[in-house]
Amino acid sequence: MQYRTLGRTGVQVSTLALGAMNFGAIGRTTQDEATAIVDAALEAGVNLIDTADMYGNGESEQMVGKAIAGRRDDIVLATKATMPMGTERNHRGGSRRWVTTALDDSLRRLGVDHVDLYQMHRWDPATADDETLSALTDLQRAGKIRYFGSSTFPAHRIVQAQWAAREHHLSRYVTEQPSYSMLQRGIEAHVLPVIQEYGMGVLAWSPLASGWLSGAIRAGQEFTSHRAGILPQRFDLTDPANRARLDAVEQLVKVAGEAGLTLIQLALGFVTAHPGVTAALIGPRTLGHLRSQLDAADTVLSADVLDAVDAIVPPGTDLAPGEKFDTPPSLLDAALRRR
């Protein structure tokens, strides 16, 4: 396992980090299975575990808490907030009222007195940056969080938040968690350069592109995926974007084979090859999935291999831009762009 410094925090984290979104109902992973996955990941050298309050409506945090009991100090523990937790209109977002409550709820579910990294799961356009940053700074000073970061923020919002922190003399976001894979490279155009400018750490989610880069989705063969049942549109091959992804996957399989790698090794090695990326978040549902992904722990891609990937999916290109979850609200709601 390789290790890198998380931004400018001085904290060393493994280049493969364990994402716990699939723990519980979402991935149909039981507590015993989740604990076995955590055990195997830690034994392999993984030292960062990432979850969120909305994963299974708190179930993932509870399962992570039970899995790490007795060894919390050896783990860089990260969770997230701002996504809706139930139907109550104020149980979401980046307000001081909710962020403070959400953190206390997460700490209780995790069974810990602090988290190392607390992340705003999405940018909340209804809340001023200084409102959220002020609350996070106070929680940091209270010892409930060590650092805080953002997730899936557009580049201009990352810049705005950094400016607000400096303007109001508050602590700043030290990490960003964007979607990044060989099939989703849009962040290379704006997000990663901004992150590098501010010295932020990067935890890349969905490095296997929701399973497209797992090797299970190939032309001419049937595939089964729990995600296909939840989000069937992402795998509908009548969609031109999905046809483009499938064509790219077939070409990438050849690149991997010629390099003596599995497609998973190529995919994870690609993400961690970028100098702006600290770690790739893997989200296994089973021990088998975990082991196939841990095989990429020490994968280093040559320039020739990276050039071959560039020839298939050009730098800065998203083959499925609608799945980035960072579209400006005004592009989704016509009322926000009309007077």
Residue tagged active-site, from 3, 55, 118, 173: 55
Active site (annotated) includes residue 55: yes
Cα separation, 69 vs 31, whole angstroms: 13
Cα separation, 236 vs 25, whole angstroms: 23
CA dihedral 122, 327, 273, 211 (to 10 degrees): 90
Which has the closest alpha carbon to 77: 104, 56, 106? 106
CB 273 within 8 A of CB 304: no
Cα separation, 136 vs 229, whole angstroms: 37
Catalytic residue positions, numbered: 55
